[in-house]
Amino acid sequence: MEVGSMDDEHEAETWTIQRSADLYQVRGWGHPYFTINQAGRVEVVPDPERPSLTIDLYELVNDLDARGLELPLLLRFSDVLRDRIKRINECFAKAIDEYQYKGAYRGVFPVKVNQQKHFIDEVVEFGAPWRLGLEAGSKPELLIALSAEQEAGGLVICNGYKDQAYIETALLAQRFDKTVIVVLERIEELDFTFRAFAKTGIRPTIGVRAKLGSRGMGRWADSTGERAKFGLTASEIVEVVDRLQEKGMLDCLQLLHFHAGSQISSIIPIKQAVREAANIFAELAKMGASMRYLDVGGGLAVDYDGSKTDFHASKNYNIQEYAYDVVAAVKESCEKYDLTPPTIVTESGRAIAAHQSVLVYEVVGRNEVRFGKPQDPGPKAHKILQQLFETYQGIAPKNLQEAFHDASQAKEEAESLFKFGYLGLRERAQAERLFWSCCEKISDYAKTMKRVPEEVQQLDQVMAAMYYGNFSVFQSIPDSWAIDQLFPIMPIHRLNEEPTIKATIADLTCDSDGKVDHFIDVEDVKRVLPVHRWREGERYFMGIFLNGAYQEILGDLHNLFGDTNAVHVQLDGEGGYEVSHFVKGDTITQVLEYVEYEPGAMVERVRRQAERARRQGLITFDQVKMLMKHYEESLGSYTYLTQDE
Ligand SMILES: *Cc1c(COP(=O)(O)O)cnc(C)c1O
């Protein structure tokens, strides 16, 4: 093999879509919704029960782009959401059936995971066959839940810190023939509840959130345990019981809730928490409360890296196992304490919402360290340049580590020679290029070898190209920045070609944190992502997957990049798809207004300056016209980069 001249065309022949699927672990995280088709593009299977109805993601994005929905574009696949809801419910139905559990199951969707109206409307619609309820964690979310759940018989669980008005609203809403349960997170909320009862005359249905002793696992381990932010300790729970009893209201206490944290990657702490909660539940029943619901909270994890392990980006159990374990633990306690089996409630958010949405962005530029074969600097050149060139020529599979040392040392020396004035800027630049040529040759050899010295392995990262994406990490995948959460990221086309470039991803913000340099991997975490060689004049699209939970609402306006365009895509039953709920992303005017600017006044102020400059003869009429046109048109445009007309 001729080192330094990897031939893309030749590689394309031996590369297969199967190899792309393995490389990006598509089966691991994407099954059954995402695959790669024969054309080498990501294919969406929105409804796994109708696997022949597929959508070519690349074509879809091109179609939408042609209709004026520019990238970055958030796609929500309604059928995927429907399938997630169905899947969880069917798993619980199966578990209940197999364990012959006598109680029922009801899910509630936590509104905080994604409050967008079109999304919540779909959750309610698709959840209707299963009587899926909603969980509110704040007053605004309760208002959403009450307006979204139109059917009688609905279930609304009220968590979060509450004031009197929150609780009064919850009680009054029970008159819509809904079960609205006020879950006490703090002991003070009991007083509010008594007062709300006195004022409205409506008896509350009360739950208590327990601080469990068993700790969750992973990132949100602190959600439980004695020092958790939320919930009542054992003694506070007893106090609630006593005070309810005094008022003759112990029958109002019907639910026990706990939440062991989100993305719990191992099944073991889940089982422990359910067992502990089931015991508390049984004690409450023994004390005379009319216990009817055991709410096991959220935490059902998503396998972001597809490794099926207890790594934080994964999970070592599936939904069915989760359902079996929850049902089995509750059943066991019921038998032990001779209880009426409660309705099991789960508050899974992430596991319902993550899969349905995909962000597609365009790569708008790149920065690659590739200098290829260097020229001989010649005998008159500075000694250090000659030395680097010799190092380059001497690189062979046997001496990669040594050559890397020599090259690094020479580069450092060139830098200090420059500092002391013995090397000009041009020569320093030449040394830099020679150094990178060495690295390139070393890493090209390393690719062909089985055993690669450790330092040389790190060259991948050092030499990684930077692919600039037309999106904002802070807006679209804030958790990638805030807590290093991993999301599957991959090109959505050209998957029948070998991705020969190793890259990290940079976004449009001018923040050095606006990048992605951690990627999913079977073993651990990859620091570079294989991507395709950029082709001049051709658009290159990449997708960020499984980002439907939490990202939209946590996203922020860093650098004033606002909401992206978003759209719902649904199978139309005739082999095609339907696009609905076009939601245009923020315009520059909108984001400026968020921060209290008045675009009209801004135009005026710029115009005044332009006029002044024109009077002074510093700018021509035509230039004023062009400036004002750009200024005013930009105000109405998308905050992200747009294609030139
Ligand atoms: C956040 C939250 C959830 C949702 O958790 P997931 O891990 O997304 O399923 C459920 N219940 C409560 C109380 C929460 O705070």
231 pocket-lining for ligand 1 (C-beta < 6 Å): no
Question: 594 and 581 share a domain?
Answer: no
pLDDT tens for 67-113 read 889 999 999 999 999 999 999 999 999 999 999 999 999 999 999 99
Domain for residue 470, yes or no?
A: no
Whether 297 has a binding-site annotation, put simply, is: yes
- Ligand 1 pocket member 300 (CB < 6 A): yes
Shared-domain flag, residues 574 and 611: no
pTM (whole model) above 0.85: yes
> Residue 273 has which token pair?
């928490």
Are 161 and 111 within one domain? Answer: yes
Q: Which amino acid is at 95?
A: A
Reply yes or no on whether 91 is catalytic. no
Whether ligand 1 lies within 6 angstroms of the CB of 315 is answered as: no
Please tell me whether 600 is known to bind a ligand. no
User: Which residue of 230, 258, 262 sits with most ligand 1 atoms within 8 Å of its CB, as the best mutation to test the pocket?
Assistant: 262
Q: Is 261 in the pocket of ligand 1 (CB under 6 A)?
A: no
State the total domains in the chain: 4
* Judgement on whether residues 449 and 549 belong to the same structural domain of the protein: no
Ligand 1 centroid to 123 CA: how many Å? 16
Q: Is the CB of 137 under 6 A from ligand 1?
A: yes
- In this structure, the answer to whether residues 491 and 578 fall within a common structural domain is yes
174 with 207, same domain: the answer is yes
Q: What CATH code is carried by the domain that includes residue 50?
A: 2.40.37.10
User: What distance in angstroms lies between residue 115's CA and the mean position of ligand 1's atoms?
Assistant: 13
Range of the domain at 444: 410-455
Distance in Å, CA 262 to ligand 1 centroid: 6
Specify if 518 maps to a domain.
no
Q: How many whole angstroms from 606 Cα to the centroid of ligand 1?
A: 48
| Cβ-Cβ contacts under 8 Å for 609 (sequence gap 6 or more) | none
Is residue 57 a known part of a binding site? no
pLDDT of residue 89: 98
Whether 196 is in a domain gets the answer yes
Closest alpha carbon to 117 in 143, 80, 84? 143
Residue 533 maps to a domain: no
CA distances from 300 to 25, 237, 349 (A): 21, 26, 8
Longest dimension (CA), the chain: 100
- Is 546 part of a structural domain of the chain? yes
206 phi, psi to nearest 5 deg: -115, 145
Is 631 part of any known ligand binding site? no
Name the closest-CA residue to atom 3, ligand 1: 298
pLDDT at 10: 52
CATH value at residue 86: 3.20.20.10
Q: Are residues 116 and 26 in the same domain?
A: no
The verdict on whether residue 294 carries a ligand-binding annotation is: yes
23 in the same domain as 149:
no
Q: Which amino acid is at 638?
A: Y
Instruction: Looking at the structure, tell me whether residues 21 and 139 fall in a common domain.
Output: no
Ligand 1, atom 2, residue with closest C-alpha: 298
Angle at 337 between CA 336 and CA 339, to 5 degrees: 115
Tell me if 375 is assigned to some domain.
no
Which residues of the chain have a pLDDT value below 50?
Answer: 1-9, 11-12
Determine contact, residues 300/266, Cβ cutoff 8 Å.
Answer: no
For residue 73, what is the enclosing H or E element? Answer: strand 73-77
Same domain, yes or no, for 36 and 114? no
Taking only the tens place, the pLDDT of each residue in 539-587 is 999 999 999 999 999 998 999 999 999 999 999 988 899 999 999 999 9
Ligand 1 lined by 562 (C-beta under 6 Å): no
Q: How far is the CA of 243 from the centre of ligand 1 (A)?
A: 29
CA distance 540 to 521: 23
Q: Indicate if ligand 1 lies below 6 Å from the C-beta of 352.
A: no
With respect to residue 404, please indicate whether it lies within any of the assigned structural domains.
no
Domain final residue, candidates 331, 354, 377: 354
Q: Which of 369, 360, 370 is nearest to 539 (CA)?
A: 360
Assess if residue 253 is contained within a domain: yes
**Tokens linked to 248:** 């003759």
Instruction: Judge if 285 and 417 occupy the same domain.
Output: no
CA distances from 623 to 108, 346, 527, 620 (A): 59, 62, 47, 5
Task: Enter the DSSP assignment of 399.
Answer: G
- 632 & 549 share domain: no
- Tell the residue nearest (CA) to atom 5 of ligand 1: 298
